[in-house]
Copies of this chain bind each other. A is one copy, B any other.
Amino acid sequence: MGYPDALRDEVEAYLEGLSFAPPGATDGLQEAMRYSLLAGGKRIRPVLALATARAVGLPHEAVLPYAAALELVHTYSLIHDDLPAMDDDDLRRGRPTCHVKYGEDVAILAGDALYAEAFHLLLRSTTAVGAMDPADVIAAAAELAAATGVDGMVGGQYIDVAGTATTAQELRALHALKTGRLIGASVVGVLLLGGIKEPATMAYRQYATEIGVLFQIVDDILDVTGTDADLGKPQGSDERHGKRTYVSEFGLDGARELAARCHQDARTTLATAAAAHDGRADELEQITDFILTRTA
């Protein structure tokens, strides 16, 4: 199966074209932001957003600011997760992490700034596209905020560092917040942007949850089976950090079985979702398959 590379290229070009502030005294900050933002990768979240736009019949230009905002937020979360006080990782995508390259203070601020600029971009750009209803833009921005707050990404990261998730159920809940909510928002936020109401959104919401879980299971598997070169960081870091993962809970084969089942569920749910409104879901199918079969 392939990956919708054309969508990734579109996202990449848009991210490269972003300007956060006039040149001047904050150049060093902007450099650190762009260093982490433009480090490559599959851009799964924005690509999901664009693929969802296609599935529900929204033009790309209406969704690109939201899609890019997702990647800004994701980049900020990686920068903060890598900090010495957090996971203390030196390598990310084969390059020194932001704090190793620019210092801890600049890395904290680069993360903070990316988060601010995500909302800035979304709120100032989306309204410029005439077709969008402001109330829908607010709903999408509120979804992004909720997905990254206490009951979302940051809350999940807190549970992770607190080390309080001990049962398999708590582990699932942790990752549903830490990883799943933002992946879910990559799909759901686009539906909100398009003013698409229930019941069409229900199946997509479920699909988004399922690929979020799938994503994390495969992440845990890759941490054990991936090569350093593919991962861009030392393999086995979960075990060294003593993290509970799907692999530590269910074994490698168990985790692979779980991933396969989760992938099948997601494909079935996606077919239901797309059928409900005659949507073109082939790109979402490709991404769903890629999340299962990726090697990094």
Q: Which A residues lie at the B interface, using CB under 8 A? A: 20-22, 25-26, 28-30, 33, 80, 83, 85-86, 103-106, 108-109, 111-113, 115-117, 119-120, 123-124, 127, 133-135, 137-138, 141-142, 144-146, 148-155, 157-159, 161-162, 164-165, 170, 173-174
Residue among A151, A153, A170 with the highest chain B CB neighbour number at 10 A: A151
- Nearest B residue to A161 via CB reads B105
Q: Chain B residues near A83 (CB, 8 Å)?
A: 108
Which residues of chain B come closer than 8 Å to A159, judged between CB atoms? 25-26
**Which residues in B have their C-beta under 8 angstroms from that of A29?**
150, 154-155, 158
Q: Is the CB of B123 within 8 A of A157?
A: no
Looking at A133, A142, A150, which has the most chain B CB atoms within 10 Å of its CB?
A150
B residues less than 8 Å from A173 (CB atoms): 25
Which chain B residue has the least Cβ–Cβ distance from A111?
B112
In contact, A112 and B142 (Cβ under 8 angstroms): no
Least CB distance, A55 to chain B, in whole angstroms: 25
Task: Identify which of B111, B119, B151, B165 contacts A22 (C-beta below 8 A).
Answer: B151
Residue of B nearest to A173 (CB): B25
- Whether B20 lies near A150 (C-beta < 8 A) is yes
**A151 and B20 form a contact (CB under 8 A):** yes
Q: How far is the CA of A169 from the CA of B113 in the complex (A)?
A: 24
Please determine whether A120 and B145 come into contact, CB atoms closer than 8 angstroms.
yes
A221 to chain B, nearest CB (A): 24
Using Cβ atoms and an 8 Å threshold, which residues of chain B touch A157? 109
Contact B116 A152 (CB under 8 A): yes
> Which residues of chain B are near A141, meaning CB under 8 Å?
119, 123, 138, 141
Q: 7 tightest A-B contacts by CB?
A: A116-B149, A134-B134, A85-B104, A123-B142, A120-B145, A21-B151, A119-B145
Asked, given contacts A26-B155, A138-B134, whether A120 binds B149 with beta carbons under 8 Å apart, the answer is yes
**Known contacts A26-B158, A30-B150, A120-B142; can you find 8 more A-B pairs with CB under 8 A?**
A26-B155, A29-B150, A85-B103, A112-B115, A113-B150, A115-B116, A119-B145, A124-B142
Chain B proximity of A240: nearest CB distance (Å): 17
25 sample A-B contacts, Cβ–Cβ < 8 Å, listed by A number = A20-B150, A21-B149, A22-B151, A25-B173, A26-B158, A26-B159, A28-B158, A29-B150, A33-B150, A85-B104, A85-B108, A109-B154, A112-B154, A113-B149, A113-B158, A116-B145, A116-B152, A116-B153, A116-B154, A117-B145, A120-B142, A133-B134, A134-B134, A134-B135, A134-B138
